[in-house]
Amino acid sequence: MHTLEFNEREPSKFLTKQMNTKMDTKRIFIVEDEPDIAELLKLTLETEGAQVKHFIRGQEFLTAVSTEKPDMVLLDLMLPDMSGLDICKRVRQAESLKDTPIIMVTAKGEESDIIKGLDLGADDYVTKPFSPKVLVSRINTIFKRTSRSQPVEEGLLKVGPITIHKGRFEVFAFDQSVKLTKSEFAILLLLASHPGWVYSRAQIVDAIRGDNYSVTERTVDFQMVGLRKKLGAAGKMVETVRGIGYKFQDI
């Protein structure tokens, strides 16, 4: 059993004062077998206006999502009937759920599991014990970024000051044309299509080169240096996630 941590002197006061509408109409599914943590998650999200469903076992969650589509999933990695990593993989393989944001809920020190989860398609993670305030911020950030990354027309992607035209192989940052190599363009398109998602170096290579392409971490890092330099002030949107990889963050 993990000890809960509120990081607030008055946790109940925190929960009651966060009455905003950022999560109104959002359906969030919690897959968590520890009662205290599940209750904290449920109370936190419902206070924010979200519609919450809680599942103790992975199989009952998978049965539910076969007919219902949540807006987000909070997924524990250790469940009584199956691994959270297996669940993440199956969700990403389902056509109707492949773009559903997943936040892993895991114990501290499980770096290998975190990397595996991100490689399988999870968007973010929170560690136990966690702060409800930080959790809410991370959820709202993902919702905000996914809504901003919607194409305004076929083949066109706009995220913050960056505009990418897939068909024309064109990139603009602050309305200035940016000339990228084929690899740099592919990396930018991958990251910008899912703002806030963390991609490992291996994921980036698989996406732009294929599973059998041999490359070192240093090669990926070199590509990122060139990409950031060419993007100028917008280069800060490509962020390094220490020990894991890279993500695209709006500015």
- Whether the per-residue pLDDT at 18 is higher than 60: the answer is no
Q: What is the pLDDT of residue 109?
A: 55
Co-location of 211 and 188 in the same domain: yes
Which pLDDT does position 175 carry in this prediction?
Answer: 86
Domain assignment present for 61: yes
Domain that holds residue 241: 149-248
User: Could you tell me if residue 31 is inside a domain?
Assistant: yes
- Indicate the range of 26-30, 167-171, 206-210 predicted with least confidence: 206-210
Higher per-residue confidence, 76 vs 111: 76
| Phi then psi dihedrals of residue 26, to 5 deg | -80, 135
Q: Decide which of 123, 147, 171 is a domain's last residue.
A: 147
Supply the pLDDT for residue 23.
Answer: 81
Q: Specify if 5 maps to a domain.
A: no
Average pLDDT, the chain: 82
Whether 6 is in a domain gets the answer no
Same-domain pairing of 15 and 99: yes
Q: Where in 160-243 does DSSP place strands (E)? A: 162-165, 170-173, 176-178, 198-200, 238-241
**Higher-scoring residue by pLDDT: 238, 25:** 238
Q: 111-158, pLDDT tens digit by residue?
A: 777 788 888 888 888 888 888 988 998 898 888 776 655 544 557 888
Q: What is the pLDDT of residue 2?
A: 47
Helix, strand or coil for residue 238?
Answer: strand
Q: Any idea what the CATH number is for the domain that residue 179 is in?
A: 1.10.10.10
Give the span between the Cα atoms of 248 and 190, in whole angstroms: 9
Q: Which strands make up the sheet holding 245-248, listed edge to edge? A: 198-200, 245-248, 238-241
Tell me whether residue 3 is in a domain.
no
Residues 118, 25, single domain; the answer is yes
Listed residue (68, 8, 15, 69) closest to 39, CA to CA: 15
Answer with the one of 122, 147, 172 that is the final residue of a domain: 147
The pLDDT value given to residue 36 = 93
Contact 96, 104 (CB under 8 A): no
- Whole-number pLDDT of residue 228: 94
What CATH number is attached to the domain comprising 123? 3.40.50.2300
Tell whether 2 is covered by a domain: no
Residue 204 and residue 137 in one domain: no
Stronger pLDDT, 141 or 57, i.e. the higher one: 57
112 and 32 assigned to the same domain: yes
**DSSP assignment letter at 83:** B
Task: Name the residue among 186, 205, 194 with its Cα closest to residue 247.
Answer: 194
Residue 43 placed within a domain: yes
Q: Which residues fall within 8 angstroms of residue 189, CB to CB, at 6 or more apart?
A: 157, 164, 166
As a whole number, mean pLDDT of residues 217-234 equals 88
Tell me: do 158 and 137 sit in the same domain: no
Asked if residue 157 and residue 108 are part of one domain, the reply reads no
Number of domains forming the structure of the chain:
2
Per residue in 156-190, pLDDT tens?
888 889 999 988 889 999 989 999 988 889 899 99
Unique residue bearing structure tokens 């998650």: 41
Same domain, yes or no, for 15 and 121? yes
106 and 181, same domain (yes or no):
no
Question: Over the range 171-210, which residues count as b (16 or more CB within 10 Å of their CB) and which as e?
Answer: bebeeeebebeebbbbbbbbbbebbbbbbbbbbbbbebee
Region 48-56: mean pLDDT is 94
Q: Do both 136 and 30 map to the same domain?
A: yes
Between 205 and 212, whose confidence is greater? 205
Beta strands of the chain (E only): which ranges? 27-31, 51-55, 72-76, 102-107, 124-128, 156-159, 162-165, 170-173, 176-178, 198-200, 238-241, 245-248
Same-domain check for residues 90 and 208: no
Q: Is the pLDDT of residue 221 over 90?
A: no
Asked which of 94, 119, 147 is the last residue of a domain, the reply is 147
Domain shared by 130 and 158, yes or no:
no
